[in-house]
Amino acid sequence: MLNIWAAKSRPLRSQPDRRGDRRGPRDDARDFIAFLAEREVLDAAGHERALAALDLPGRRTLPVLLVELGLVHEATLVTALSEATGLPILAPEEIPASPVLPDSIGADYCARARALPVAADADSLTVAVVDPFDPEIAPALEHLADRRVVRVLVGPGHFERTHRAVYGDAPQDDDGAPDDDLTRLQDVASQAPIVRLAARLVRKAFELSASDIHLEAEEADMRVRYRVDGVLIEAERLAKSVQLALTTRIKIQAGLNIAERRLPQDGRMKAPDRGQEVDIRVSTLPTAHGESVVLRVLDGSRRVEDFSGLGFDAPSIARIAAMTARPNGLVLVTGPTGSGKTTTLYAALKRLNGPHLKVVTVEDPVEYRMAGVNQVQAHPGIGLDFAAALRSILRQDPDVVMVGEIRDGETARIAVQASLTGHLVVSTLHTNSAAAAVTRLMDMGVEPYLIAATLNGVVAQRLVRRLCDDCAETVPGTERDRIALGLPPGTPFTLRRPCGCPACNGTGYRGRMVASEVMLLDGALRGMIADRAGERAIADRARAEGMVSLSESGRALVLSGRTSLDEVGRVLEGLG
């Protein structure tokens, strides 16, 4: 190796080597790349990629490039730099609680130079540096501080966290990132390993039939989780060094501002799956350890199931058919986020759709594509929210209108008025039960007599995971199980429980089905609603008229062997 490595006390500034030739910081950087290759930290391909990245135009900081390209783990890099240069590594106890010499050295300069003053006395200033090959940092700081500079080493990611802890958010341009970093970010995000990594994560989601990909920034690494059948499953941990590059790659694909890291952003991208383009909604959120990203898979080409395919039993299907067979009125599907409400609405539209009816929807986002249905994508940012879209839709002479969600009083009132004037309106609400939909509409300002006149019925639902038929086993029920299921003493019964196999990715479950309660309004219930009856009284009356509660529906699924008692308890928070 060159004498830069043999003489560890040698300062890393441009100076003549043994041959009298003038050396620059890039020469030292190339020597360090060779040093990493000799110690097998870099393989041959990594060695070539590092040299190529170093020669790209613009400001190039070697340690940052090595980490963000995923060529070297940050901890390994800092250790190698220390070995090669003789500089010590910044210790946790050396991190200052407040800025050092803030009147002389500003936070903006520290952010640009990636240099952090950590201690000062009358004669010297100790500075943690990311790039020991930069010949300008030490002289500049000596001039600013009027002190001799002593350098210690810090990794790129550790520097950013420490800088935020000492100074707060780093000064940035109006878009949220230093201008000279943008070209570098785009270059790194376009490197083949990052492109392949982003594609692999999305492809894995398709293989698992996941609804969401969660890329969560943590202090030491980046966690990857997939939501499969409504449950988050941790898949892997990515090196912290790839976090910024991977996030930037996704933001580029989704048309987001790669310079803005301080504010949440939302966008869309497409990815190929089995010969078709799948829409993916992208959401970024700044956190304490960097941006976290969630990708929602919106496979509009999925086949719309009928009610039996969703898991509804025959009596429930008959009740839903009765409430949607009327030419006008309001039909609601309720439940928390992720309970399959939109899927149920589309099952209803599948039954209704035909040449004799005009069906129009307004959704955010459009989750399924259905031939013969006029689908409108809401855009609240330009004023096309559900209420505005619904007003325009009613001028299109529709027979059936689907509103993705009733979120506010204005949308609720327009939906009720539309149902009064000869339209069948189907929509969703966020309530825990069918009866609670009535009180929710009242809370939104809809008069009880209008609810009584227009509401055809309400479906409240949850999604529970189906047991995997390849591995589920049958076991005798225990006394505790009997009590939970409400069975009489001495009743013999068996249950099925999950085991886990390759077919279900080791979870014991594969796919989901509906647990539901279907409240079909009759004259008695309409009278109670007009008289402002409470949620409990409405629910009791509906059960007396034959409505099966969510808990009872869950128990039936357990006893039929289609799901487990633990799964129903998880989703319904107990069977009481």
pLDDT tens for residues 53-85?
776 654 557 888 787 777 888 888 999 999 999
Rounded Cα distance between 89 and 81, Å, is: 9
- The percent of residues in the chain predicted with pLDDT above 90, rounded, is 58
pLDDT at 25: 66
Q: What is the pLDDT of residues 261-314, one digit of tens each?
A: 888 998 889 888 877 788 899 999 999 889 999 999 987 666 778 898 898 999
pLDDT at 107: 87
With bands split at pLDDT 50, 70 and 90, how would you rate the model's confidence at 13? very low
pTM of the model: 0.65
State the average pLDDT for the chain. 87
Amino acid making up residue 552 = E
pLDDT at 5: 38
Q: Average pLDDT, stretch 478-507? A: 91
Q: Which residues contact 556 (CB under 8 A, 6 or more apart)?
A: 313, 548
pLDDT of 20 higher than 60: no
Residue indicated by tokens 């940012």 = 381
pLDDT of 3 higher than 90: no
pLDDT at 417: 93
Least confident of 151-165, 201-215, 427-441: 151-165
Angle at 563 between CA 559 and CA 564, to 5 degrees: 80
Strand order across the beta sheet in which 115-120 lies: 115-120, 124-129, 148-153
Rounded Cα distance between 375 and 44, Å, is: 53
Query: Could you please report the per-residue DSSP string of 453-501?
Result: HHEEEEEEEEEEEEEPTTT-EEEEPPHHHHHHHTPPTT---EEEE----
pLDDT of 35 higher than 80: yes
Rounded Cα distance between 475 and 481, Å, is: 11
Least confident of 13-22, 130-139, 225-234: 13-22
pLDDT at 23: 59
Q: What is the pLDDT of residues 309-320, one digit of tens each?
A: 898 999 999 999
pLDDT at 7: 34
pLDDT of 541 higher than 80: yes
Which three-class secondary structure state does DSSP give residue 166? helix
Rounded Cα distance between 66 and 155, Å, is: 11
| Six token digits for residue 379 | 């855009």
Judge whether 229 and 510 are in contact, CB under 8 Å. yes
Judge whether 457 and 520 are in contact, CB under 8 Å. yes
Least confident of 187-201, 407-421, 486-500, 530-544: 187-201
Amino acid making up residue 40 = E
Judge whether 439 and 397 are in contact, CB under 8 Å. no
Select from 458, 488, 478, 479 the least CA-distant residue to 549.
458
Q: Average pLDDT, stretch 513-531? A: 95
Q: Which residues contact 448 (CB under 8 A, 6 or more apart)?
A: 442, 529, 530, 531, 532
With bands split at pLDDT 50, 70 and 90, how would you rate the model's confidence at 169? low
pLDDT of 555 higher than 90: yes
Instruction: Express the helix, strand and coil content of the chain in percent, nearest 5 each.
Output: 40, 25, 35
Q: Average pLDDT, stretch 162-191? A: 64
Most confident stretch, 27-31, 135-139, 287-291 = 287-291
